[in-house]
Amino acid sequence: MMGMERDLTQKVKAQFGRQAERYAASRPHAKGDSLDLMVEWAAPRPSDLVLDVATGTGFTAFAFAALAKRVVATDLTANMLTQARRLASERGLTNLLFHLAEAEALPFHDGVFDIATCRLAPHHFASVPRFLAEMHRVLRPGGRLVLCDSASPEDAESFAWQQEAERTRDPSHVRNYSPTEWRRMTEQACFHVDRVNTEHRSHLTFSDWVRTSGSDPATVMVLRERFLKAPPAVRNAFQIQLDGEEIHFSWMLAIVLAHRG
Ligand SMILES: C[S@@+](CC[C@H](N)C(=O)[O-])C[C@H]1O[C@@H](n2cnc3c(N)ncnc32)[C@H](O)[C@@H]1O
């Protein structure tokens, strides 16, 4: 692993290690139309073996475990997996296996999974192309890939504003990708892209957003100023609205269904 990637891995482990309990209680992560659509598109069967990469506290894995034979769920951060195991046992789910693993180097044989999923995590990865290559390798021919991540709008001003806000909030943030970039990267990893959906959004309040990341008061002030002074095109792109003291906003989600030929 290169030095910069090692630094990023440390940042991810520090960020999510500290915040694991908050993620376990986070409503936007626990459910949502986007997760329902991922399950609908992947259409898991009772015989399917599913891989969920960067499972966090396990919400995507749980949705698939209810329908598939078994779900193998991986993450880089031990504390997130501890919370995922706790929640799985509270829900009485017994068909899940958890592994500590990097998205870019999966410890599985070629062609073993029927479905591979990853939700709300690729914007933390050092290399999305390497992650996609790994997803392609571990899926069987015909296997389905379903991804969902907060995406960036196609315009440069909104993209730059969002990246600055996300990196200020969370040092382990690497980059959001536009729907066009998602399609291109998935095709370049030799997948056949079936659908890309951008109709779903992650609706957030500013206070929940900075609470989930555990941002310190000085950072929260800088971010609040940034939201309040956002230019009109940015306010429009992210649906930024002031309601009393609270700021409401949303990120567009890119949801990708693809399959291995
Ligand atoms: C927002 S959480 C994921 C949410 C989860 N997928 C869900 O559907 O609720 C992001 C997760 O990505 C993990 N992560 C970040 N970079 C990673 C990497 N390179 N490899 C594996 N996991 C990674 C973090 O440890 C964290 O648990």
Distance 245 CA to ligand 1 centre (A): 31
Cβ–ligand 1 contact at 103 (below 6 Å): yes
Domain assignment present for 137: yes
| Confidence (pLDDT) at 15 | 85
Task: Say how many CA atoms lie within 13 Å of 200 toward its Cβ.
Answer: 20
Residue 249 clears pLDDT 70, i.e. is over it = yes
**146-155 average pLDDT score:** 97
The end-to-end CA distance of the chain, in Å, is 30
Cβ–ligand 1 contact at 29 (below 6 Å): yes
Ligand 1 atom at minimum distance from 125 CA:
19
Domain assignment present for 194: yes
How far, in Å, CA of 243 to CA of 156, rounded?
Answer: 27
Domain of 158: which CATH number?
3.40.50.150
Q: How many separate helices (H) and strands (E) can be counted in the chain?
A: 11, 9
The one-letter code for the residue type at 137 is R
Domain assignment present for 225: no
Write out the two tokens for 75.
């993450």
Domain span at residue 76? 3-204+252-260
Domain assignment present for 19: yes
| Confidence (pLDDT) at 33 | 87
Tens of pLDDT, residues 160-186: 999 999 999 999 999 999 999 999 999
For the whole prediction, is pTM greater than 0.75? yes
Number of domains in the chain: 1
Give the model's confidence band at 191: pLDDT under 50 very low, under 70 low, under 90 confident, else very high.
very high
Give the model's confidence band at 61: pLDDT under 50 very low, under 70 low, under 90 confident, else very high.
very high
Nearest CA to ligand 1 atom 27: 56
Ligand 1 atom at minimum distance from 20 CA:
27
Which residues make Cβ contacts (< 8 Å) with residue 225, sequence separation at least 6? Answer: none
Tens of pLDDT, residues 64-95: 999 999 999 999 999 999 999 999 999 999 99
Give the model's confidence band at 1: pLDDT under 50 very low, under 70 low, under 90 confident, else very high.
low
3 state DSSP class of 98 = strand
Domain assignment present for 93: yes
In order of 98, 105, 125, 163, the CA distances from 7 in angstroms are 24, 17, 12, 19
Residue 144 clears pLDDT 70, i.e. is over it = yes
Cβ–ligand 1 contact at 131 (below 6 Å): no
| Confidence (pLDDT) at 177 | 98
Q: What's the burial of 47, exposed, middle or buried (CB within 10 Å: 0-12/13-18/19+)?
A: exposed
Domain assignment present for 237: no
Asked if residue 34 lies in contact with residue 147, where contact means CB atoms within 8 angstroms, the answer is no
Ligand 1 atom at minimum distance from 61 CA:
8
Nearest CA to ligand 1 atom 25: 77
Domain assignment present for 232: no
Residue 131 clears pLDDT 80, i.e. is over it = yes
